[in-house]
Structure 1
Amino acid sequence: MELQQMRYVVAVAETSNFTRAAEQCRVVQSALSHQIARLERELGAKLFERTSRRVRLTPAGEAFLPAARQALDAADRARAEVAAAAGEIRGRLAIGAIPTVVAVDLPAALKEFHLRHRQVRISLRSGASEDLIERVQQGGLDIAFLGLPPGVRPKGVRGRELARGELVAVVAPGHPLADDDRVELHRLADESFVDFPAGTAGRVQSDEAFAAAGVRREVAFEISTPDFMARLIRQGLGIGMLPAAFVSAFPDLHVVRLSDAPARIEHVIWSRFQPSPAATAFLAALDISPADSSTPPSNGGG
């Protein structure tokens, strides 16, 4: 069993197509197909079901894929550690971030890191805080930037609090609240809301604040990205709740501050195990040492 064979299997699993997998691996399709068939003979099991329309993993392939990814990650990590010992940072840096992160200028930080460490393969995934925590726990991400309600600590990882802030109401120009600079939450009781999906950290912080104020509200539109939220708010379909430090991204919308505003805390997290050389270097660029964690490691879920 060879690492290259594992790379081919992972590529086919991710693309569901032998031709695209071969292009991704920069090899002719016949060579990729031959190596996977050779691996299947060695394992004594088919890894893929092939039809004229689709390619999908067999139960044996589903069982093989996670271990193959772990083996490839381990090989990459070994190369990166050897390079780091010689003073060179290389390997991968997989980062996750909520769409509303403001405590760090992430695009600028990634650009500076790329210019300094050109041998590092950088990837970025946007998502909800709870999904990002799980991916860091499982090793799919090296570092993630989260936004959580006060009192909620990410578990199963290490991390540090970056910043605290408040949410504000965001309304369309011409909305009756657009002339108010500050209101209490009960003034919003009759409004229709555009908010993040129920159960996500971005939604919980608002739900808890309204519940504490004894205010019931209607969330008519559940949206995962702030840009789409802003488009609905502009049309007067509802009002939104966004971090005060983030709303400058939408200068055409009116901001209404809240006397009893929901609060949120931004965190950066990383694995409770030893971070990779690239992850350690990126944290160092943010003046963070992996040994200095304000989030206790735990085996609990996110």
Structure 2
Amino acid sequence: MDLQQMRYVVAVAETRSFTRAAERCFVVQSSLSHRIAGLERELGVKLFARSSRRVELTSAGTAFVARARECLAAADRAVADAAAATGVVRGRLAVGVIVTTAAVDVPELLQRYRARHPDVRVALRSGRSDDLAAAIRDGDLDIAFLGLPEGERPPGVETVVLDHDRHVLVVPAGHRLAGLPEVTLRDIAEETFVDFVDGTPARAQSDRAFTAAGLVRDVAYEAGVVELIIRLIARGLGVALLPSAFIRPLAADTPELALVPVVDGPRRIECLAWSRFNPSPATRAMLDVLGVGTRG
């Protein structure tokens, strides 16, 4: 058994196709199939159930792939650590980001990072703060930019607060509240709301504020992306509470929207999170670019 065989198995498991796996691994399909068949003979088990149309992991294959990923990650880390000892940062950096990040210009940050460390392959994915924090704990992400209710921290990861922010009310330009110097949650409780999906950290920030004020609101429209929230508001279908640092630049270019400060509105923090267990050289390099030190 060798690492290349493991890579082939993981590629087939992720693509569910010997053809696509061979393309990903830059090898002819016959060679990839031959190496996997040899591994199955060595192990004495079938890793994949094959048909003319489908490829699926067997129970043995599922168990094998989980450990193979750990072995491949350890091998990649060994190479990265050896390179780091000579002053060269290599390897892979998996970055997570929420869509409403405003404390850091992520594209500009990645550009600076690539200029300093061109040998690191950076992967970026967006998602919910709780999912991104879980991905760090599981080893699927190295670092992430999160948005959370003020005073909250995700468990099991290192964090540093990048910014504190307050939500503002976002209404259609012709709304009765547009132009007011400020409002309270009680002033807007009877409005129809557009918000993020129930159960997400982005939604929890507003839900908790209304609950703390002893108020109930009507969230008629739920959306997973902020672009849809903005479009629904612009069409006059509802109002929303959104982080001010994120929405102000967008509203400046969207005349259909108006922003109103909320006296007792939600507050949030933007924070940077990373694994508290032995960050990789690529992760430490990103923390250095951001001016954030690691403990220990």
Fold conserved (TM > 0.5)?
yes
After TM superposition, list the pairs within 5 Å mapping 1:204-215 onto structure 2. 204-215=204-215
- 1:283 and 1:115 mapped to 2: Cα distance? 15
**Match in the other structure for 2:24:** 24
After TM superposition, list the pairs within 5 Å mapping 1:94-109 onto structure 2. 94-109=94-109
CA-to-aligned-CA distance 1:175-219 (integer Å, 9 cap, x gap): 222232311111222222111111111111100101112221111
- 1:55 and 1:220 mapped to 2: Cα distance? 42
Secondary structure of 1:249's aligned partner = helix
Q: Conserved in 2, the CA contact under 8 Å of 1:170 and 1:242?
A: yes
Secondary structure of 2:45's aligned partner = coil
Structure 1: 5+ residue stretches without partners: 293-302
**Match in the other structure for 2:218:** 218
**Match in the other structure for 1:296:** none
**Match in the other structure for 1:36:** 36
Secondary structure of 1:193's aligned partner = strand
After TM superposition, list the pairs within 5 Å mapping 1:153-192 onto structure 2. 153-192=153-192
After TM superposition, list the pairs within 5 Å mapping 1:40-189 onto structure 2. 40-189=40-189
Secondary structure of 2:8's aligned partner = helix
Secondary structure of 1:255's aligned partner = strand
Secondary structure of 1:176's aligned partner = coil
TM-score by length of 2: 0.95
- 1:271 and 1:98 mapped to 2: Cα distance? 17
- 2:85 and 2:186 mapped to 1: Cα distance? 59
Report the residue type matching 1:254 in the other structure.
A
CA positional deviation for 1:249: 2.3
CA positional deviation for 1:60: 1.2
- 1:64 and 1:172 mapped to 2: Cα distance? 54
- 1:184 and 1:10 mapped to 2: Cα distance? 54
Q: Conserved in 1, the CA contact under 8 Å of 2:153 and 2:159?
A: no
Report the residue type matching 2:262 in the other structure.
L
CA-to-aligned-CA distance 1:79-99 (integer Å, 9 cap, x gap): 000001011010000011111
**Match in the other structure for 2:232:** 232
Comparing 152-161 with 231-240, which one deviates more in the overlay? Answer: 231-240
CA positional deviation for 1:224: 1.7
- 2:43 and 2:169 mapped to 1: Cα distance? 58
Q: Conserved in 2, the CA contact under 8 Å of 1:158 and 1:270?
A: yes
**Match in the other structure for 2:250:** 249
Q: Conserved in 2, the CA contact under 8 Å of 1:95 and 1:144?
A: yes
Report the residue type matching 1:117 in the other structure.
H
**Match in the other structure for 1:264:** 268
Comparing 80-89 with 213-222, which one deviates more in the overlay? Answer: 213-222
Report the residue type matching 1:272 in the other structure.
R
Report the residue type matching 2:223 in the other structure.
I
Q: Conserved in 2, the CA contact under 8 Å of 1:198 and 1:222?
A: yes
Q: Conserved in 2, the CA contact under 8 Å of 1:181 and 1:255?
A: no
CA positional deviation for 1:140: 0.7
- 1:6 and 1:220 mapped to 2: Cα distance? 48
Measured at CA, do residues 181 and 14 of structure 1 come closer, stay the same or move farther in structure 2, by a change above 3 Å? farther
CA-to-aligned-CA distance 1:152-182 (integer Å, 9 cap, x gap): 1111111111111111111222222223231
Comparing 119-128 with 154-163, which one deviates more in the overlay? Answer: 154-163
Residue among 268, 272, 278 paired with 2:282: 278
Secondary structure of 1:216's aligned partner = coil
- 1:156 and 1:167 mapped to 2: Cα distance? 27
CA positional deviation for 1:282: 0.5
- 1:274 and 1:147 mapped to 2: Cα distance? 24
- 2:278 and 2:199 mapped to 1: Cα distance? 31
TM-score by length of 1: 0.93
- 1:11 and 1:249 mapped to 2: Cα distance? 40
